[in-house]
Amino acid sequence: MGQPTLVKADGYSPLIAPTKKGSGIVPVPSAEFMRGGNGVGAQWRPALRSIEDDVDAAWEPAVARATDLIQNSGWISGMFDQAVANTVGSGLRLRCSPENDLFGQDETAAQEWRNNVERRWGLWSETAVECDIEGRRTIAQMQEAAFRSWLNTGEILGEIVFRKRFGSPRGTKVRLLPATKLSLDSDLMKRIVSGVVMDADGFPIGYMARRRNRAMGEYTTRVPARDAYGRPKVIHVFVGLPGQVRGITPLVPVMKVAKQFDQLADSTLLGALIQTVFAANLQSEAPTEEALAGLLTPQEQQKLMAAGVSPFEAWAEMQAGWADANVIDIGIGGRIAQTFPGQKLEFLSPEMPATSYKEFSMHLLREMARCLGLTYESATGDYEGATYSSVRMAVNEIFQITLARRKFVLAPFLQPIYEAWLEEEVASGRIPFPGGYNAFLANRVAATRSHWIGAPKPVADELKAAKAHQVYREMGVITDEMIANDLGVDIEDVYAQQSREQTMRQSYPGSGGRAVNVQIPDAMIEADDKKKEGGDDG
């Protein structure tokens, strides 16, 4: 039961502190959150503000620190590379999935139309001159750069422009922009919040962009979010809470941890250097002159005598300028320091167990990896102690983060680009559409529906995964398309390739003219299990 709350007997006017006995105070039981505020968390009282205010205040320093970590921390840079490889890979592929019934296509015609769209999209998206306004990146390379921008700033910013060039018959182009080009200025009277111009419903209708030219320098101008026909002109992607209009880097929660790791490494290295470079410190009860003479070789003593300088005189001269002239340089290995009489030089170092650094550094690395959506093994390359079961479980859980990032970060970046490209293709007649361009505009949402497919989930044991697919298919609870999705391939591409290979087999007498149906023997599975029981998984 919690601490009683003291109130007057009449039930009104709660008192802060109890009074003397007999004053009419009676204890009343209470149940409340975070009672007992005199403990460790008594001083932990963060301010509660709107999420948009928090993001606005922290955006610039957070992005600056994230950029510094990426540029100067090998661990963070490597984790970013791994996160990009897991989510983007070689680029998400288009799987065209229009609602054919809405514009009157049968399945055969719809299949032919989908194949035509995907082939033409591949041709356009894999040609940098066609898809990039700068002519530098393909769509796959843009995905990689856009996802890095999201990891660094929490946002993806881009423009869809129309410009034809020599040798490029299509005008739809994409311009990737750094998120820092979006102003953080706010003007509530004009419904501008952190550079985003909104209508009364909170719908973005424009953006305050930072531009630069030779005559005016840097200035801010308003860019409409859509053109006169409602087509998107600006791509602004972020993941946030209700009320949030700007994103922020996912690295924010572990910035302190990353700096702690650097401090741990630096202090550990410095401690090791101090304990190594100072091999000895002379402490002697003998007079300083004799002690100094004992440190000199016979040749050095003869030079002092020839110069008429005794070791004691040399000591006296050195004592006069001791504070300025005597510098202890830890960069000189094996240096012996001689102190003056009555003075003592000690190096006190804490007794640190040999495993403390490794254990604590692994803890910090695990926290950083978890924040970035990676397993510890994937982020660090350290698989010591990992088993098949532990790796499989970790991959299954982390892969859900990868799928979420593909759906909520990369797909919103790719979809408006695909829609703008497809509209141009239909309007120009390069891709026929039932009913023509007007019918496409009337059924735009249904015609442009699509899915974006990435690399499959990593599998620790390919043989067991294949056997599971085979069993589920025989049970009738999984389809060929679901298996193809798990493998990261398009089932239609697989069937088309099998058909071509079947035709090729018929043209070669030695092939038998038929495809080979492979069944996985149970003996192979059992042998593989016994092998793992003897080593990997214990």
Query: Longest Cα pair distance anywhere in the chain, in angstroms?
Result: 113
- What does the DSSP assignment read for 330-365? TTSTT-EEEPPTT-----------TTHHHHHHHHHH
Q: How far apart are CA 218 and CA 200, in angstroms?
A: 30
State how beta strands 192-193 and 172-177 pair: unpaired
DSSP lists the bridge partners of residue 515 as: none
pLDDT at 173: 94
Residue corresponding to tokens 């860019």: 223
Model pLDDT for residues 49-61, shown as the tens digit of each residue: 888 888 988 999 9
Output the pTM of the full model: 0.74
**Amino acid letter, residue 514:** R
Q: What is the pLDDT of residue 258?
A: 87
Q: How confident is the model at residue 48 (pLDDT cuts 50, 70, 90)?
A: confident
In sign, the C-alpha dihedral spanning 158, 160, 165, 170 is positive
Q: What is the DSSP letter of 120?
A: H
pLDDT at 246 over 90: yes
pLDDT of residue 485: 79
Q: How confident is the model at residue 413 (pLDDT cuts 50, 70, 90)?
A: very high
- Contact call for residues 76 and 69 (beta carbons, < 8 A): yes
Distance CA 96, CA 451 (A): 7
In the structure, what pLDDT confidence band is assigned to residue 9 with cuts at 50, 70 and 90? very low
Q: How confident is the model at residue 275 (pLDDT cuts 50, 70, 90)?
A: low
User: Encoding tokens for residue 335?
Assistant: 């240096």
Boundaries of every domain in the chain: 1-33, 51-251+403-452, 461-538
Residue 333's pLDDT is 46
Token pair belonging to 287: 């007079």
Label residue 457 exposed, middle or buried (CB < 10 Å: 0-12, 13-18, 19+): middle
The mean per-residue pLDDT over the stretch 382-407 comes to: 85
Category of 528 on φ-ψ map: left (φ > 0), alpha (ψ -120 to 50) or beta: alpha
Q: What is the CA radius of gyration of the chain?
A: 35
The encoded tokens of residue 70 equal 């990426």
- C-alpha distances out from residue 97 to 101, 333, 423, Å: 12, 69, 16
User: Which of 447, 445, 449, 450 minimizes the C-alpha distance to 230?
Assistant: 445
Helix (H, G, I), strand (E, B) or coil at 218: strand
Could you give the dihedral angle defined by the CA atoms of residues 223, 227, 230 and 235, in that order, rounded to the nearest 10 degrees?
-50
Q: What is the pLDDT of residues 340-353, one digit of tens each?
A: 555 555 555 555 54
98 band by pLDDT with thresholds 50, 70 and 90:
confident
SS3 450: strand
Mean pLDDT across 140-158: 95
pLDDT above 90 coverage of the chain, percent: 31
Q: Which residues pair with 152 in a beta bridge?
A: none
End-to-end C-alpha distance for the chain, whole angstroms: 48
- For position 37, what pLDDT does the model report? 61
> For residue 469, which phi and psi values (nearest 5 degrees)?
-60, -40
